[in-house]
A = this chain, B = another copy of it.
Amino acid sequence: MSLLVTGSIGMDTVETPAGKRDDIIGGSAIYFSYAASFFTPVRLVGAVGEDCPKSFLSVFEGRDVDTGGLEIRPGSKTFRWHGSYLEDLNEAVTVEVDLNVLAERAPKIPGNYLDSKYVFLANTHPVLQQQMAHDLKDAKLIVADTMNLWIQTERHELEKLLKQIHGLVLNDGEARLLTDQKNLIAAARDVLKMGPKFVVIKKGEHGCLMCTKDEEFVLPAFPADTVVDPTGAGDSFAGGMMGYLATQGNFSSATIKRALAFGTVVASYAIADFSLGGLQNTSREQIDERWNHLKQAMSF
């Protein structure tokens, strides 16, 4: 089943203990699309400026990613982000950020995408997310991400969005900020009261937890011994999760749990190299193998 994602496409400069890379492809929609395309066809909606390198547009060659919703906007500049993990490999310090095209109007959802059944609204202004959730009337499953900025400045709009979506994915700091709960289980339960049927809290190297009304699920990160660049880990996680869900046709707890394990595994490959390098060196067979390894490494 086709999975639609809207999010950022960026030119990143990244510094980690393993080195520095300039002007590499990044952005939430890029990582998400690549990760999800291991499982299901993806429809990408996003915008770049006319400065976007040609090489960026070919990263999905040979993969089942429809870039018909990718707008190359004349007169605009591509989103840029410069981050450093030199202090803490688990948390990026933003050295510089230029929103550029992201600060302009939202990209348009192509008419032939309006029947999408599975939708991931990567982090952007909650009013834009509301609009897209509203437009995608055939969606069976809408999951959104958000960030500190909107929790602090657009809480009311974010709360309206939460009533429109089925699932929310956010990190531990964002969950605490949104609910004013230090304990993450308590935070997750409070998020559920705001509307979503399930909430996934990402804890970086410590894995994730998922709550529904009836149960909790806790999952450690894959025990990876090599982390080159954590950029895009959360988006790759979401991509793996949504990609798998889109192949299943049901959203039972059991299905979501398996999906989270796929997300965890895809993220573990994403962080093994800069930019898309880790995912580009990965096959679906390797993902299945590591999924079984994770299952084994947690069974008792």
Contacts and interface: CB of A to CB of B under 8 A. Distances in A.
Interface of A: 89, 182-183, 185-186, 189, 203, 206-207, 209, 215-221, 223-227, 254, 257-258, 260-261, 295, 297-300
A298 to B, nearest CB: 6
| Of A189, A219, A261, most B-chain CB atoms within 10 Å | A219
A189 B257 contact: no
A218 B223 contact: yes
Number of copies: 2
B219 A257 contact: no
A217 B207 CA distance: 14
B185 A225 contact: yes
A189 B220 CA distance: 18
Given A220-B207, A225-B189, A298 B297 contact: no
Nearest to A259: B300
13 contacts: A89-B182, A183-B226, A185-B224, A203-B206, A206-B207, A207-B218, A216-B223, A217-B297, A217-B300, A218-B220, A218-B221, A219-B300, A299-B299
